């Protein structure tokens, strides 16, 4: 029998590695940015077209590469970052696996231009699907420029799995922000389809956060600083009153590398315990410095997860540092047993003798003097004080009340006790009545059983169909606000808001002005209150960021779904009989009452037969 195990060709192995390293255009951005930072770049420009599907270009002013290094950089497991296995536990750089450029070149058309400072000319290499098509000298500035064109051109199945341009652009912006936040001293820029999204000069941590998330972010930040033997913490957390309904502004950086850690995230949430509203998440930008020997970075292909030696100690230090900062800046209440300095005696009163207080009395004052002067007869008169209610009956005994009403024709309500406990009318109403169970379900009767309705899902279905009709017909009613409502948003949220502005106006919103970091609202739908607008729009934009419709969903449909879910009555809200009946009637007037817009069941029926079986 012949042998069955054989070595894979290099181009096949590179495509397999690309499946781990390059998942979408944002993965290419991340790898190329990290290489530019490791090259010592001070200015990095990123250019993308059609969300990176057509072109990704990263230009830096780093040290550049020689001809040999440029050629060798596209080989598998070729890297300048490590030499020995022990170096894996003392990493100070970003990329070290040596698979990034080889994986990218296996699934795209790549053009590399690079030059070192002392070289007269640079090197230009073109690769298509791991095959070098040309290599020649060229004139190029110091540093490196890499252009990645037609991503996944030779793997159409992977290309079909990519989302819409808006979704992929959002992932690129996320990766760009993570790298830019970790390295505030480096200047970054991002250009998409000839439109500049970011222009970030080199600065400090706080200013970099403000430049990315808007100028109003500065007043929301509380500094956090702690220096211990095993961990050094610096950065900022957001004030509790500015907590959002999504986890968008949550960043951990360990040794200048963005990571995801549910365990450390729980430590932050524990520090905010009792300060946040329900289902609200705090913002944080925390930079952690630890000994490289105490962490293992190489446990995930994208290197966004890290294994720590002592997570429990990090948890306790992080939680305590944040609680201390919140108390130090009077964001959270603290216990202070020191004396109040306002009660101390001022210095200029320290040696001053104590004086006895003097009370002056007018001994000639007579409160009855004016009364006796106005009364000529000195005979005392006493006025009988009456209660206020007695004045209502003044004159009833001596005066007749004139009225046109014939008291004999007035019929009084009978107090006769009938055989029915609530009367005939109550019995008829009770036959169609509903009641609420556990402030979550509406129970109603059927001819052959019982109907159990989820109030939140039912109301979501009702609002969804109403919103679809309003957006389509443009017949929504708006209520004008007495004072305009100004809400702050990031640049990405403003871009999304402009895209759905017309549809929002058809639901009842009126925008008087949309700036680069804020929106002014002068009218809102009649079905929501002014206090709910900010929360509703935040949830709506978060839904669009994560679930932007592709070819299968329309913008109108997603807008109606998101608004309906946010505006619907929640579980735990107490409903009176009229509100319960309104939901029941509205639900069965819908075209599809049995399912929510998210294809979840709205109600169930319990036949009498099933109920009888329970008593057997």
Span(s) in the chain for CATH 3.30.565.10: 10-200
**Are 153 and 109 a contacting pair, CB within 8 Å?**
yes
Average pLDDT estimate for 68-79:
79
| Under 8 Å between Cβ of 57 and 109 | no
| Mutual angle of helices 577-587 and 455-473, in 10-degree steps | 60
Residue 30 pLDDT > 70: yes
Q: Are 25 and 151 within 8 A, CB to CB?
A: yes
Contact between 258 and 30 under an 8 Å Cβ cutoff? The reply is no
Cα gap 203→185, rounded to integer Å: 5
Q: What percent of the chain has pLDDT over 90?
A: 26
Query: Looking at residues 487-509, what average pLDDT do you find?
Result: 84
Cα–Cα distances in angstroms (integers) from residue 253 to residues 186, 190, 236, 423, in the given order? 16, 21, 12, 71
Number of H helices, E strands in the chain: 17, 22
Predicted confidence at residue 365, as pLDDT, reads 80
pLDDT value for 407: 55
Q: Work out the mean pLDDT of the chain and round it to a whole number.
A: 80
Strands 441-446 and 435-437: antiparallel
Q: Give CA torsion, residues 249, 254, 257, 259, to 10 deg.
A: -50
Whether the pLDDT of residue 425 is over 60: the answer is no
- pLDDT tens for each residue of 227-257: 988 889 999 999 888 888 777 789 999 888 8
- What pLDDT score was predicted for residue 232? 92
Paired sense of beta strands 307-308 and 187-192, if any: unpaired
pLDDT at 429: 43
End-to-end CA distance of the chain: 68
CATH number listed for the domain at residues 205-328: 3.30.230.10
The mean pLDDT value for 573-601 works out to 90
pLDDT grade for 583, boundaries at 50, 70 and 90:
very high
Burial of 451 (0-12, 13-18, 19+ CB in 10 A): middle
**pLDDT at residue number 234:** 93
* Bridge partners for 488 per DSSP: 518
**521 beta partners:** 485, 511
d(CA 144, CA 70): 10
Distance of alpha carbon 336 from the chain centroid: 34
Residues 545 and 489: beta-carbon distance below 8 Å: no
- Residue 89, pLDDT > 50, answer yes
Band of pLDDT at residue 93, cut at 50, 70 and 90: low
Rounded-to-integer distance, Cα 178 and Cα 88, Å: 23
Burial 466-482 (b: 16+ CB within 10 A, else e): bbbebbeeeebeeeeee
What are the DSSP calls for 399-448, one per residue?
A: SPPP----GGGPPPPP----SSSSHHHHHHHHHT--EEETTTEEEEEETT
Residue 292 has pLDDT above 60, yes or no: yes
Please give the angle made by the CA atoms of 513, 518 and 524, to the nearest 5 degrees: 60
Q: pLDDT class for 511, splitting at 50, 70, 90?
A: very high
pTM for this structure?
A: 0.68
Residue 480 has pLDDT above 80, yes or no: yes
Q: Does domain 10-200 have CATH number 3.30.565.10?
A: yes
**Max intra-chain CA distance, the chain:** 142
Q: What is the pLDDT of residue 257?
A: 86
DSSP state of 542: H
Length of the chain: 616
pLDDT for 344 equals 57
Q: What does the pLDDT read at residue 39?
A: 87
Q: What local confidence, expressed as pLDDT, does residue 335 receive? A: 54
> Residue 275 pLDDT > 90, yes or no?
no
Average pLDDT of span 305-332 = 84
pLDDT one-digit tens code per residue, 148-190 = 999 988 888 888 888 888 888 888 999 999 999 999 999 999 9
CATH 3.30.230.10-classified regions of the chain: 205-328
pLDDT category of residue 496 using cuts at 50, 70 and 90: confident
Please, how many CA atoms are within 13 Å of residue 105, restricted to the half-sphere of its CB? 27
Which of residues 213 and 386 earns the better pLDDT score? 213
In angstroms, rounded to a whole number, what is the distance separating the alpha carbons of residues 257 and 564? 39
Rounded-to-integer distance, Cα 425 and Cα 466, Å:
34
Mean pLDDT confidence for 413-434:
48
pLDDT at 176: 94
Note the pLDDT of residue 274: 82
Residue 86 vs residues 90, 187, 297: alpha-carbon distances, Å: 7, 33, 13
Share of the chain above pLDDT 70, in %: 78
Beta-sheet strand order (sheet of 187-192)? 131-138, 122-128, 109-115, 143-149, 55-60, 43-49, 187-192, 195-200
- Asked whether the predicted pLDDT for residue 59 surpasses 90, the reply is yes
Can you tell me the distance from the alpha carbon of 493 to that of 544, in angstroms, rounded to the nearest whole number? 9
| CA R_g for the chain | 37
pLDDT digits (tens, 9 = 90+) for 370-412: 655 555 544 555 555 555 666 656 655 555 555 555 555 655 5
Residue 139 tokens, joined: 């004139």
Q: How far is 280 from 566, CA to CA, in rounded Å?
A: 14
- Tell me the DSSP string of 209-237: HHHHH-GGGGGGEEEEEEE-SS-EEEEEE
Only one residue has tokens 């002067």, namely 373
Report the candidate in 547, 509, 7, 93 with the shortest Cα–Cα distance to residue 298. 93
Q: Which two tokens stand for residue 483?
A: 């004072």
Which structure tokens are listed for 98? 């040596």
The residue written with tokens 């850690």 in the block is 261
Of residues 154 and 441, more confidence is placed in 441
Chain position carrying tokens 């004016």 = 370
Confidence of residue 430 (pLDDT cuts 50, 70, 90): very low
pLDDT of residue 307: 76
- What region does 40 belong to: left with phi over 0, alpha with psi -120 to 50, or beta? left
Residue 560: its pLDDT value, please? 86
Q: What's the mean pLDDT in 463-469?
A: 87
Strongest mean pLDDT among 80-94, 109-123, 545-559: 109-123
CA 278: distance to chain centroid? 13
Q: What is the mean pLDDT of residues 530-535?
A: 85
Residue 248 phi/psi, 5-degree rounding, is: -65, -40
334: pLDDT strictly greater than 80:
no
Position 472 pLDDT exceeds 60: yes
- Which has the minimum average pLDDT: 2-11, 486-495, 605-614? 2-11
> What is the per-residue pLDDT for 124?
94
- Mapped onto helix, strand or coil, the DSSP state of residue 537 is helix
User: Contact, 52 vs 168, CB < 8 A?
Assistant: yes
Q: In this predicted structure, which of 27-36, 355-364, 458-467 has the lowest mean pLDDT?
A: 355-364
CATH of 441-605, one of 3.30.1450.10, 3.30.360.10, 3.40.50.2300, 3.30.1370.100: 3.30.1370.100
C-alpha to C-alpha distance for 282 and 275, rounded to whole angstroms: 10
Residues of the chain with CATH 3.30.1370.100: 441-605
Tokens of 559: 């807008």
Q: What's the pLDDT tens digit per position in 104-158?
A: 888 899 999 999 999 999 999 999 988 889 999 999 999 999 999 999 888 888 8
119 burial via Cβ count (<10 Å: 0-12, 13-18, 19+): middle
């Amino acid at each position: 029998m012949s042998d069955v195990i054989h070595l894979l060709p290099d181009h096949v192995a590179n495509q397999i590695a690309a499946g781990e390293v390059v998942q979408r255009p944002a993965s290419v951005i991340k790898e190329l940015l990290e290489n530019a930072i490791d090259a010592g770049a001070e200015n990095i420009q990123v250019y993308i077209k059609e969300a990176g599907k057509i072109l990704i270009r990263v230009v830096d002013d780093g040290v550049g590469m020689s001809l040999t290094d440029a050629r060798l950089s596209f080989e598998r497991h070729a890297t300048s970052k490590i030499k020995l296995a022990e170096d894996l536990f003392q990493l100070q750089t970003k990329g070290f696996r040596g698979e990034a450029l080889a994986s990218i070149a296996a699934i795209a058309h790549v053009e590399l231009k690079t030059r070192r400072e002392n070289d007269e000319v640079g090197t230009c290499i073109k690769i298509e699907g791991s095959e070098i098509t040309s290599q020649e000298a060229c004139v190029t500035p110091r540093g490196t420029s890499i252009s990645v064109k037609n991503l996944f051109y030779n793997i159409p199945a992977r290309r079909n799995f990519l989302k819409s341009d808006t979704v992929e652009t959002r992932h690129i912006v996320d990766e760009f922000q993570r790298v830019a936040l970790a390295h505030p001293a480096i200047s970054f820029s991002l250009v998409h389809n000839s439109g500049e999204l970011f222009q970030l000069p080199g600065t400090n941590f706080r200013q970099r956060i403000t430049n990315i998330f808007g100028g109003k972010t500065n007043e929301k930040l509380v500094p956090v600083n702690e220096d211990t033997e095993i961990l050094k913490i610096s950065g900022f957390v957001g004030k509790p009153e500015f907590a959002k309904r999504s986890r968008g502004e949550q960043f951990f950086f360990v040794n200048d590398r963005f990571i995801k850690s549910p365990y450390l995230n729980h430590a932050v949430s524990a520090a905010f315990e009792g300060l946040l509203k329900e289902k609200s998440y705090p913002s944080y930008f925390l930079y952690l410095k630890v000994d490289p020997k105490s962490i293992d970075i190489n446990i995930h292909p994208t290197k966004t997860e890290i294994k720590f030696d002592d997570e429990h100690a990090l948890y306790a230090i992080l939680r305590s540092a944040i609680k201390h900062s919140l108390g130090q800046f009077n964001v959270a209440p603290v216990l202070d047993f020191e004396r109040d300095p306002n009660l101390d005696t001022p210095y200029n009163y320290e040696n001053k003798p104590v004086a006895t207080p003097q009370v002056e009395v007018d001994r000639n004052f007579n409160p009855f003097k004016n009364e006796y002067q106005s009364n000529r007869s000195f005979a005392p008169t006493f006025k009988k004080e009456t209660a206020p209610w007695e004045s209502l009956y003044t004159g009833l005994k001596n005066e007749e009340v004139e009225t046109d009403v014939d008291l004999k024709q007035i019929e009084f309500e009978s107090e006769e006790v009938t055989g029915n406990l609530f009367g005939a009318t109550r019995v008829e109403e009770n036959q169609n009545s509903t009641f609420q169970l556990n402030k979550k379900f509406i129970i109603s009767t059927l001819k052959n059983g019982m109907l159990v309705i989820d109030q939140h899902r039912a109301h979501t279905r009702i609002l969804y169909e109403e919103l679809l009709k309003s957006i389509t017909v443009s017949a929504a009613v708006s209520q004008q606000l007495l004072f305009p409502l100004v809400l702050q948003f990031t640049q990405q949220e403003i871009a999304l808001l402009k895209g759905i502005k017309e549809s929002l106006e058809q639901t009842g919103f009126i925008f008087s002005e949309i700036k680069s970091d804020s929106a002014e609202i002068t009218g809102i739908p009649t079905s929501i209150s002014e206090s709910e607008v900010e929360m509703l729009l935040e949830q709506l934009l978060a839904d669009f960021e994560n679930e932007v419709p592709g070819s299968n969903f329309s913008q109108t449909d997603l807008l109606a779904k998101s608004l309906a879910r946010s505006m619907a009555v929640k579980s735990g809200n107490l409903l009176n009989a009229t509100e319960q009946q309104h939901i029941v009637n509205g639900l069965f007037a819908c075209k599809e009452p049995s399912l929510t817009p998210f294809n979840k069941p709205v109600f169930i029926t319990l036949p009498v037969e099933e109920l009888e079986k329970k008593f057997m």
